[in-house]
Amino acid sequence: MNFAAWMAGIQQRTEDALTTHLPAATVAPSHLHAAMRYATLEGGKRVRPLLCHAAGSLFGAHCELLDVAAVTVELIHAYSLVHDDMPCMDNDVLRRGKPTCHVEFGEATALLVGDALQSLAFQLIATPFSGLEPVRQIEMVNLLAVAAGSRGMAGGQAIDLASVGEQLTVSELEFMHIHKTGALIRCAALLGAHAGGAGPDEIIRLGHFANRIGLLFQVVDDILDAEASTATLGKTAGKDAAQNKPTYVNLLGARDARVMAATLRDEAHNSLQPFGERAQRLHELTDYIVDRPF
Ligand code: GRG
């Protein structure tokens, strides 16, 4: 199967699983449930689920288990976007080509959407799954909690908010992004590996790859934010510069940011060498992350 067909298949599986696991909008409290579905369904590239499946396939994980793991990461991601767009944070009105959740449903509901999506993610990943050892499952719950928390994504967001108008060094910027964006991307890959029963050494090796990919994703995001249009991105373009936020583009310049992306891409590919041809999807995903349109 070629990469495009594989990607479309995983995106559809993810959409189906999210549709199933999110409470129906007809179930009370329907305003909250409608908003949760609005914020999560029919949009997004599903990069984290793709990574989870690609990593899981490396270790022969069951697709049904990968669906659950992928959904949990995507729910945390959707929650982070809802909160990030709120007036107290990035204050944005456009996400995935439509009005942001708080614009459509109000601020209080958007806050609850994030809370409830996060809780749902942990409910799903903590639900016993046949064939998955409890010790392994607890490790997966722990991974997700650390990735989403103050030592991961939420911590990175705190640094991001505090850095507006500040002059960061490249290593400070890297520290922020390893947490804000990289932690959840890394978690997606590692959950996939755990779902396939990967051993400690394999987890460490895959972790090296995931760290490169997390940073690569962010460098490309900065380049896209600076160079692509709002229509293409489906979110407000040029936001980082307008908000005086440090980015790889304004720190290094567009040319060197591209050089950095190329280096990270090479490092990501090289880190997959020990896995041989089994890592084909991860190689393809690496290239997709660089060449993605939005
Ligand atoms: C609110 C706790 C909390 C955290 C927010 C991830 C994040 C932290 C904020 C999003 C802001 C942002 C634009 C970060 C840059 C990288 C990124 C996560 C982009 C959006 O992810 P994509 O491109 O989005 O995977 P789609 O819509 O495709 O799912």
Which pair of tokens denotes residue 52?
């989870």
DSSP bridge pairs for 90: none
**Which atom of ligand 1 is nearest the CA belonging to 148?**
2
pLDDT at 239: 79
Is the distance from the beta carbon of residue 236 to the nearest atom of ligand 1 less than 6 Å? no
CATH 3.40.50.300 assigned to domain 3-291? The reply is no
Give 133 Cα–ligand 1 centroid separation in angstroms.
Answer: 32
Strand duo 98-99 + 94-95: pairing: antiparallel
**Which atom of ligand 1 is nearest the CA belonging to 292?**
23
Q: How confident is the model at residue 282 (pLDDT cuts 50, 70, 90)?
A: very high
Torsion sign across C-alpha atoms 81, 87, 92, 93: positive
**Which atom of ligand 1 is nearest the CA belonging to 154?**
2
In this structure, the number of other CB atoms found within 10 A of the CB of residue 30 comes to 12
- Burial pattern 61-87, b for ≥16 Cβ within 10 A else e, equals beeebbbbbbbbbbbbbbbbbbbbbbe
Is the distance from the beta carbon of residue 109 to the nearest atom of ligand 1 less than 6 Å? no
- The residue contributing the CA closest to ligand 1 atom 18 is 181
Q: What would the pLDDT profile of 158-208 be if each residue is shown by its tens digit?
A: 999 999 888 899 999 999 999 999 999 999 999 999 999 999 999 999 999
Is the distance from the beta carbon of residue 141 to the nearest atom of ligand 1 less than 6 Å? no
pLDDT at 243: 80
Q: Indicate the pTM of the whole model.
A: 0.96
Is the distance from the beta carbon of residue 83 to the nearest atom of ligand 1 less than 6 Å? yes
Q: What would the pLDDT profile of 214-250 be if each residue is shown by its tens digit?
A: 999 999 999 999 988 888 888 888 877 778 888 999 8
**Which atom of ligand 1 is nearest the CA belonging to 239?**
13
Query: By mean pLDDT, which of 42-51, 122-131, 163-172, 269-278 is the weakest?
Result: 163-172
Q: What would the pLDDT profile of 108-148 be if each residue is shown by its tens digit?
A: 999 999 999 999 999 999 999 988 999 999 999 999 999 99
When the pLDDT of each residue in the chain is averaged and rounded to a whole number, the result is 95
In the 3-class helix/strand/coil scheme, how is the chain assigned residue by residue?
Answer: CCHHHHHHHHHHHHHHHHHHHCCCCCCCCHHHHHHHHHHHCCCCCCHHHHHHHHHHHHCCCCHHHHHHHHHHHHHHHHHHHHHHHCCCCCCCCEECCEECHHHHHCHHHHHHHHHHHHHHHHHHHCCCCCCCCHHHHHHHHHHHHHHHCCCCHHHHHHHHHHCCCCCCCHHHHHHHHHHHHHHHHHHHHHHHHHHCCCCHHHHHHHHHHHHHHHHHHHHHHHHHHHHCCHHHHCCCCCHHHHCCCCCHHHHHCHHHHHHHHHHHHHHHHHHCHHHHHHHHHHHHHHHHHHHCCC
**Which atom of ligand 1 is nearest the CA belonging to 77?**
6
Domain positions in the chain are 3-291
Is the distance from the beta carbon of residue 111 to the nearest atom of ligand 1 less than 6 Å? no
pLDDT at 256: 95
- The residue contributing the CA closest to ligand 1 atom 14 is 181
Pocket test for ligand 1, best of 178, 180, 217, 232 (most atoms within 8 A of CB): 180
Is the confidence at residue 17, as pLDDT, over 90? yes
DSSP bridge pairs for 94: 99
Which pair of tokens denotes residue 129?
């799954």
Q: What would the pLDDT profile of 59-106 be if each residue is shown by its tens digit?
A: 999 999 999 999 999 999 999 999 999 999 999 999 999 999 999 999
Is the distance from the beta carbon of residue 47 to the nearest atom of ligand 1 less than 6 Å? yes
Angle at 184 between CA 284 and CA 74, to 5 degrees: 80
pLDDT at 89: 95
